[in-house]
């Protein structure tokens, strides 16, 4: 890319004008302070922002099992810990592959998370399958409603600033073998770590031209009674998803002429930390477990501020005008993942 390329210039100017780190706070913001971050479209972390929540103080494996004794929950199951991810089928075609879904007893689900974490040896073999509670259906008002009273119904400063209640509250429970691939969500997201750690790689919306977002045919994992896996194609329109991995290095095939110009931000959430993840920011998330052997988080989705939709549409229009020949993109927004 030359300096005359307007897209390359935009990316370089963005990184020169914005810090290459996530701002860290030690106190929660006021609504006015929060709106300043929304206006700048920049993430921040509040260390210990949820340290006084009942869930943060009291939850453990034993406590969660007691609270949900006898309850069944829906879990995502994959052979590799990558749910809702670009994956090649048996013929080598890249697809958007959803996980195998099944309902299980909550205690059995927790035990399945703990088993790989408690193996002895310096390099234990990977599990034959990975489970993750990742339903994105406002699950604290549904299958996890027994846990809801121990979590705030709102993030008050976000609600007051945006002038509306949370559109959804979702609980996430997994272990270190699950990774959420790079994607973006159309919500202002307040993400709170309750147990374990989450490791985020963040890219701003202008990275659209860097991530090789491609419409992928929908598919899903199928698990046979004998435990073997295959990928089955499903009807429906293609799903636009980034196919570039910020951690895969410069030699990967799924890249664009601009991929080398984006600088991902990295931040780790510890127990009790809060992250503000602005709408349309790309994020990849991995996790690691503390002594409990599981990772647990909750996030609050707020409908994004109207001005950002207009700005996003303008950015997509400009990107379409300047992207390289042969690049395929879709204007649709991918469904929410975390």
Q: What is the CATH number of the domain that holds 253?
A: 2.60.120.10
Q: Quick one: pLDDT at residue 306?
A: 59
Q: Is residue 327 in a domain?
A: no
The answer as to whether 214 is a domain residue is yes
Could you tell me if residue 1 is inside a domain? no
**Number of domains observed in the structure of the chain:** 1
- Rounded Cα gap, residues 36 and 120, in angstroms: 48
Distance of CA 227 to the CA centre of its chain: 28
Query: Do the beta carbons of residue 221 and residue 77 sit within 8 Å?
Result: yes
CA 106 to CA 157: how far, in whole Å? 33
| C-alpha span between 126 and 106 (Å, rounded) | 22
Q: Dihedral of the CA atoms 156, 157, 163, 166 (nearest 10)?
A: -50
Q: What is the pLDDT of residue 115?
A: 79
Q: What's the pLDDT at 252?
A: 76
Going from the C-alpha of 108 to that of each of 200, 219, 332, the distances in angstroms are: 28, 27, 38
Full domain range(s) for residue 306: 6-322
CB 67 within 8 A of CB 146: yes
Positions of E strands within 62-138: 72-78, 85-88, 94-98, 100-105, 130-132
CA distance 161 to 37: 11
Residue 228 in any domain: the answer is: yes
Q: Has residue 332 been placed in a domain?
A: no
Between CA 159 and CA 162 the distance in angstroms is 5
338 lies in some domain = no
Identify the pLDDT of residue 325.
Answer: 45
In a domain, 195, yes or no: yes
Q: What is the mean pLDDT of each run of 10 residues along the chain (338 residues)?
A: 78 93 97 94 98 97 96 95 93 95 96 75 67 90 95 96 94 95 96 98 96 96 89 95 89 84 96 97 95 94 69 57 48 40
pLDDT at 215 (0 to 100): 96
pTM: 0.86
pLDDT score of 324: 46
In a domain, 222, yes or no: yes
CA distance 184 to 301: 13
């Amino acid at each position: 890319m030359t300096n005359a390329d307007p897209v390359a210039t935009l990316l370089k100017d963005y990184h020169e004008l914005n810090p290459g780190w996530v701002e860290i706070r030690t106190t929660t913001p006021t609504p006015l302070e929060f709106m300043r971050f929304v206006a700048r479209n920049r993430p921040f972390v509040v260390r210990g922002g949820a340290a006084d929540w009942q869930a943060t103080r009291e939850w453990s494996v034993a406590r969660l099992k007691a609270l949900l004794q006898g309850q069944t929950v829906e879990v995502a199951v994959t052979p590799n810990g990558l749910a809702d991810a670009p994956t090649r089928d048996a013929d080598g075609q890249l697809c958007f592959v959803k996980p195998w879904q099944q309902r299980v007893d909550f205690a059995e689900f927790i035990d399945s998370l703990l088993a790989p974490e408690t193996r002895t040896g310096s390099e234990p073999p990977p599990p034959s399958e990975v489970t993750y509670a990742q339903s994105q259906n406002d699950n604290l008002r549904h299958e996890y409603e027994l846990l809801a009273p121990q979590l705030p119904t709102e993030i008050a400063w976000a609600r007051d600033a945006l002038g509306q209640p949370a559109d959804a509250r979702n609980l996430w429970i997994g272990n270190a073998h699950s990774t959420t691939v790079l994607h973006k969500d159309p919500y202002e997201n307040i993400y709170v770590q309750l147990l374990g750690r989450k490791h985020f790689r963040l890219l701003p919306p202008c990275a659209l031209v860097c991530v090789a977002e491609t419409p992928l045919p929908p598919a899903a994992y199928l698990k046979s009674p004998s435990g073997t896996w295959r990928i089955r194609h499903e009807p429906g329109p293609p799903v636009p998803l980034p196919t570039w991995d910020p951690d895969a290095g410069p030699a990967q095939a799924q890249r664009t002429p601009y991929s080398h110009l984006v600088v991902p931000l990295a931040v780790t959430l510890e127990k009790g930390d809060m992250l503000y993840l602005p709408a349309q920011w790309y994020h990849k998330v991995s996790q690691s477990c503390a002594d409990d052997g599981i990772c647990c988080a909750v996030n609050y989705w707020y409908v994004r501020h109207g001005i950002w939709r207009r700005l996003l549409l303008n950015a997509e229009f400009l990107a379409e005008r300047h992207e390289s020949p042969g690049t395929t993109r879709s204007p649709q927004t991918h469904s929410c993942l975390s």
